[in-house]
Amino acid sequence: MIELYSGTATLCSVAKQSGMSASLALDKTRKRGARSTIFVFDILDPMDRALLYHWLDSPLVVWVHMAPVCGTCSRARQINNGGPRALRSDEFPMGLPNLTAAERQRVELANSMYWETCKLFGHCVSLGILVTLENPSRSLFWETIPFKQLLETFDIWFSNTQMCMMGGFRPKWTKLAAFFSHISEMNVECDNSHTHLPWGKTLNDEGKEVFATSLEAQYPQKFCFCLVQCIIRQLQRLNMKVLPDSLFDVRDEKLYEMQTARIAAQTQSRRSKLPPIISDVASVAVFFVEKPSDVPFALQSKVDKALDVFTSSGALAQVPKFSRFLRRTATHSPFTVTGGSQLVMSVLK
């Protein structure tokens, strides 16, 4: 899959964990604390855009997810709470007529991004690639001309998800648009079984005062897992299947339970294929080092020599040669006050 406007790339990370191991996260900037490697990409750059369209010609791409930035389309701007003023309205979804030069430039840049996003949506549909498009449910993005034209051209289905039911802290409504009706599986409304954090101004993790809407921009992991499972089920309806890495990974999956039931009823599908019996790694583990230069290897590469690291308790450990370097996160290591890096390694047998 390809996640465009990936933010912290949580969705891409979950897709990789769910069998789409070659998934790509693309964004204009690399976000701090990203869950997956982010490739710098600007949809308004003709060369970047040409490369993306070239990738989409590959039969290996089965899903594209897009979440264009909605800052200029946010209805929160219409609230008189000391925040930035509104730049659009229902009457003028492409930009208010009384904008300053700087505001007009920002809105037109966003509009260009929306045009390219909707063109890309249509291109994916023409290639038979599953495509999902996300924005807040009340975002004025859904009222813009490029999206309205997309609605006139294709049969598009929607889902509305209240994110507090998907691991979020506030009852934010999020809308997904897709070219398949089963996206409605993502419909969920708050059942009032929990409390919500308030909207308005609050403090972020760094102690800086921000508006709460900015803290809800990142997808909760539960939402990502549900969306990936929705996509996998749709791929199965299209006679495509993402296989787990090994039998050990498939035991707790619903698909495994369904297959077991079919075997018992002697109605197992002949199209089913078993994944590899033995996984090629012994484990995935988290270690720590004092500084990034202690790990002179690229992400996703195999280390060419044994690597001295620390466990969370500060004990010295060694990652064996040929283990794969999966992720790196800047963190305060538990054994030092000077900072450090957290490593996630796939350890070979």
How far is Cα 270 from Cα 266, in angstroms, rounded to an integer?
11
Total number of domains in the chain: 3
Weakest-pLDDT range from 29-33, 80-84, 88-92, 228-232: 80-84
Are 181 and 293 within one domain? no
Residue 314 structural domain: 281-348
Are 249 and 192 within one domain? no
Are 187 and 328 within one domain? no
Q: What is the pLDDT of residues 201-229, one digit of tens each?
A: 676 666 676 666 666 668 998 999 999 99
How far is Cα 317 from Cα 311, in angstroms, rounded to an integer?
7
Are 83 and 132 within one domain? yes
- Taking 80 as the threshold, does the pLDDT of residue 348 lie above it? no
Are 90 and 227 within one domain? yes
Are 264 and 328 within one domain? no
Are 314 and 302 within one domain? yes
How far is Cα 27 from Cα 39, in angstroms, rounded to an integer?
6
For residue 194, what are the contacts with CB-CB under 8 A and spacing of at least 6?
A: 164
How far is Cα 131 from Cα 200, in angstroms, rounded to an integer?
33
Are 250 and 313 within one domain? no
Are 173 and 300 within one domain? no
DSSP conformational letter for 77: G
Here the tokens at position 50 are: 């040409």
Are 123 and 34 within one domain? yes
Are 94 and 189 within one domain? yes
Percent of the chain exceeding pLDDT 90 equals 46
Q: Which pLDDT belongs to residue 182?
A: 94
How far is Cα 28 from Cα 38, in angstroms, rounded to an integer?
9
The model's confidence at residue 270, banded by pLDDT at 50, 70 and 90, is very low
Name which of 290, 331, 335 is nearest 312 in CA terms.
Answer: 335
Q: Which pairing describes strands 307-310 and 316-319: parallel, antiparallel, or unpaired?
A: antiparallel
How far is Cα 293 from Cα 230, in angstroms, rounded to an integer?
40
Are 226 and 251 within one domain? no
**pTM of the entire structure?**
0.67
